[in-house]
Amino acid sequence: MIWNETIECMDREEMRKLQGIRLKRVVERVYHNTPFYRKKMQEMGVTPDDIESIEDIVKLPFTVKQDLRDNYPFDLMAAPMSEIVRLHASSGTTGKPIVVGYTRKDLSIWSEVVARCLTAVGVTKQDMVQVAYGYGLFTGGLGLHGGIENLGGTVIPMSSGNTQKQIQLMHDFGAKVLACTPSYALFLGETIKDSGIPREEFLLKTGIFGAEPWTENMRKEIEESLGIKAYDIYGLTEIIGPGVGGECECQNGTHLWEDHFFPEIVDPVTLQPVEPGQQGELVFTAITKEGMPMIRYRTRDLTSLNYEKCACGRTAVRMARILGRSDDMMIIRGVNVFPSQVESVILELPEFEPHYLIIVDRVNNTDTLEIQVEVRSEFYSDEMNKMISLKKKITDCMQSVIGIQPKVKLVEPRSIERSMGKAKRVIDNRKLV
């Protein structure tokens, strides 16, 4: 099933024309309504008249997270505050939060794109969806919520946490779909197992997971643990929240809803467009937003785009799994290491649980990398020899993938703290110095 066939399967030339018209409109809007953008465009000598087609997007300035902080709270709005009907915010790890505002039309676009994501993975109005993303300033809960209502499904607005109750209601209500972070999905799977309720008594069949990077191996792990199909949903507060894109049943890339969010991939250093299909930093322009449109917003997410038509029939461009954020990349003794590489090694090995912690530090001016990982109970042993050889096995695998030798610490099952929202798996103590 396809929610909006005209758009999702639109011919590429036609899509580019539509994007061009919308780009011109949004550039006019921000030029006249948002002093920040007008100033930046004037500095570059660009006016809305220079924008004739989507190709002209490269004439426009980039926007970065710091710009949102500098314009805190409302200076990037392109609509009067009387037109703003909802605010969301994201705090990040440091500094002031970033704030975004939505007009009524923005909310209706949001519920449209989330409905597309839900339909693309087979969710229908017959289905009950348990939303275990956080509700509140975070966009996850309310974003999914609006899409499910638009689709006509039944929402269970659980929010995150309260894990025992999540399980109980999922079971008693017969939820078919679960929406939460992949790390919380793992925790819920573990908790169901512990509850002693037979898994067959749950009607769950589909998971809609996102808000944090996750690997293909993590997908397999979750699918097995919950007995479901697990799909990716992508988004970010600055652009709209969840639903900037979502996977279809082919599980072969995340379709981006490019009639609303125009994607580019640029080299994060030179900021020039990369060759088609190459990996780089994802940049979005929200070409239909009214409240707070973003122009060429640098997401810091690293991925690549595939414009081939998908087996599902959609022509909407597909984004590869996010490798990580450029600011998540750790440089350890000069070597670039992504948490996703560490995750894929751990999940490749049957002896380990998908729960781990990466601790980076600097001792005597040398970077250290410690990986704590839980050993599955069937492999956990009091025999020293067994544990030593297990440790050697994972250390060798890590070294061959990440290029440096980590210090691995094997820990008991269930000893690493579980996450109910976005998992925090990296502790970089070097930043404290």
| Positions that interact with ligand DLL (CB under 6 A) | 90, 133, 139-140, 210-213, 232-237, 241-242, 299, 301, 322, 325
Q: Which residue, 314 or 422, has its beta carbon nearer to ligand DLL?
A: 422
CB of 331 to ligand DLL, least distance (A): 18
Q: Which residue, 27 or 183, has its beta carbon nearer to ligand DLL?
A: 183
Parallel, antiparallel, or unpaired: how do β-strands 128-131 and 98-103 relate? unpaired
User: Tokens 């954020």 appear where?
Assistant: 325
CA 267/CA 265 separation, integer angstroms: 7
CB of 194 to ligand DLL, least distance (A): 26
Q: Are 282 and 303 in contact (CB under 8 A)?
A: yes
CA 273/CA 258 separation, integer angstroms: 17
CB of 311 to ligand DLL, least distance (A): 21
Parallel, antiparallel, or unpaired: how do β-strands 98-103 and 84-90 relate? antiparallel
Q: Which residue, 146 or 406, has its beta carbon nearer to ligand DLL?
A: 146
Q: Are 279 and 323 in contact (CB under 8 A)?
A: yes
CA 233/CA 255 separation, integer angstroms: 9
Q: Which residue, 284 or 352, has its beta carbon nearer to ligand DLL?
A: 284
Q: Which residue is nearest to ligand DLL (CB)?
A: 210
CB of 98 to ligand DLL, least distance (A): 8
360 bridge partner residues: 369, 428
- Which tokens in the block code for residue 135? 């509700």
- Burial class for 116, CB neighbours closer than 10 Å (0-12, 13-18, 19+): buried
CB of 154 to ligand DLL, least distance (A): 19
CB of 396 to ligand DLL, least distance (A): 28
Q: Which residue, 153 or 213, has its beta carbon nearer to ligand DLL?
A: 213
User: Which H helix or E strand runs over 318?
Assistant: strand 318-319
CB of 316 to ligand DLL, least distance (A): 16
Q: Which residue, 241 or 293, has its beta carbon nearer to ligand DLL?
A: 241
155 bridge partner residues: 129
Q: Which residue, 101 or 210, has its beta carbon nearer to ligand DLL?
A: 210
Q: Are 155 and 178 in contact (CB under 8 A)?
A: no
DSSP label at 429?
Answer: G
Q: Are 371 and 356 in contact (CB under 8 A)?
A: yes
